[in-house]
Amino acid sequence: MTGATGRFAALLAAVLFVQPLHAREFHTGLEGECGGLPRLDIGTVHGMCAGLVLGPTRQDRTRPIRLPRSLLQLSETEWLVSDLGAWDRPRGAVWKLTLQPGRAPEVERLLGDLHVPHALARGPEGLVYVGEMSRIIRFDPASPDPAASVEVVISGLPDNALHLHRHPLSKFVFAPDGALLVNVGALSDQCADEQGNAAGPRCTESETGEHAASIRRYEAVGPGQWSPDYTVHAKGLRNSVALAVHPSGTVVQAENSFDLPTRWSPFEELNVIEAGRHYGWPYCMDIATPAPAWRSGTAMDCRGSAHTAPRVLLPPHAAPLDLLWYDGAMFPALHGRMLMTFHGHRSVGGRIVSFAVDGDGVPIADRNARFHYYGGGSRAYGAGPAATPVTLTPGWGLRKGRRPQGSPVGLAVAHDGAIWATDDRAGLIIRFAKDGAAPRP
């Protein structure tokens, strides 16, 4: 490691050690307290603990929110939570969660019958935006009838039915100039035929058409208004669910790479998104390696200027689903660092991690970068440039009969500096707080 990254890692080694785990199962049994909430069996760095906001327990197996994904804080006591509901039909919802000290959490469904809602964001005019599979809507959560306040902002996004396609979630962000940048996920894993060969001389899923694996740009045409037409801002991106804008204006994307059966390949990617660039899917993987179906290299020279390589590599099969930069006061050591969820079900997934970043918010590459995995310790990337993640939740792996491996999705920094996260497979909403600190009202 080099520079600030190495010094921070050394500090962690000295003072941010892993808390001991106890014999309890977080989704069926609870023990102790974390910031006034029941403490979950998630091993964290020293000085942090995980509290259960909402989710099934042994005492109450009710799953109030079926598949919680994204989080948005409305006030000191109120949050919005998107609920995927189901992958195959419109059973999604947006819930309002009210959490007050000393009282059981309350949930109220504000919107229902949504089709795989995922992204939530506060718009420039103060309304709340929701990304569904084929559209982006907005609504007023303070309205007496929130459902009646729904407006369609962007329509005509690909109707990526999951049984045909793989990446139906329409993540979006507001660009520094006010435009909307919207993820359009790839229709397939590798753009290959049933025999695993390239589906043509070039991949139409990556190059042309309504379904091209890309980030679309919708120009702002007025306050709270965007053009119904779009341009392809960047392409060759398999699935831009982890998409964010740093305060510097840098647009960053964490790419979920191919679903190859090999355990240590391919690596996930951290890309800096710039207009007009092609980021390689499905032709290239890692820094400059031709993908299996396109190994001839005739469609794209992965070492050439047509391919924009990732800025840094991320651990293989980690499945990053959300990222942000910590700006709270509760954890000073994390200030300015990138936080990211690893949702993957393989041994590298099931984590919330942080990265040291440069002035543009981009993770800093390490000379000898490594990543952790459950059941074995750590492993060198063997390729570069790559970044070493500092794992905030090193004790979230599978413990048979006691807890499943974590599946974190959405991240949010609360007004008090606590880190909130969702786990969609377990149906949990979690508050990571300073150990021993009570939540503010």
From first to last of its 441 residues, what are the pLDDT tens digits of the chain?
444 444 444 444 333 323 322 223 334 346 789 999 999 999 999 999 999 999 987 778 889 999 999 999 999 999 999 999 988 889 999 999 999 988 999 999 999 999 999 999 999 999 999 999 999 999 999 999 999 999 999 999 987 665 454 788 889 999 999 999 999 999 889 999 988 999 889 998 888 777 789 999 999 999 999 999 999 999 999 999 999 999 999 999 999 999 999 999 999 999 999 999 999 999 999 999 999 999 998 999 999 999 999 999 999 999 999 999 999 999 999 999 999 999 999 999 999 999 999 999 999 999 999 999 999 889 999 888 999 999 999 999 998 877 889 999 999 999 999 999 999 999 999 999 999 744 444
Looking only at the bridges linking them, the beta strands covering 231-235 and 225-226 are: unpaired
What kind of fold does domain 65-190+206-240 have according to CATH? Neuraminidase (2.120.10)
Output the CA–CA distances (angstroms, integers) from residue 316 to 38, 56, 100, 313, in the order listed. Answer: 33, 30, 39, 9
Please say whether the beta carbons of 254 and 268 come within 8 A.
Answer: yes
pLDDT attached to residue 160: 63
Domain boundaries, the chain: 1-62+250-434, 65-190+206-240
Output the CA–CA distances (angstroms, integers) from residue 330 to 12, 46, 417, 436, 437, in the order listed. Answer: 17, 13, 5, 12, 9
The pTM (predicted TM-score) of the whole model is 0.91
pLDDT attached to residue 210: 72
pLDDT attached to residue 8: 43
The two three-digit tokens of residue 181, written as one number:
């940048």
pLDDT attached to residue 286: 96
| Amino acid occupying residue 351 | R
pLDDT attached to residue 162: 56
Please say whether the beta carbons of 330 and 352 come within 8 A.
Answer: no
Q: Cα 352 to the chain's mean position, in Å?
A: 10
Helix (H, G, I), strand (E, B) or coil at 113: strand
- Angle at alpha carbon of residue 157, lines to 279 and 171, rounded to 5°: 60
Give the DSSP per-residue string, 316-359: ET--EEEEEE---SS-GGGTT-EEEEE--SSTT-SEEEEE-B-T
- Angle at alpha carbon of residue 7, lines to 314 and 377, rounded to 5°: 45
pLDDT attached to residue 28: 39
Please say whether the beta carbons of 140 and 150 come within 8 A.
Answer: no
Q: Which residues pair with 214 in a beta bridge?
A: 184, 235
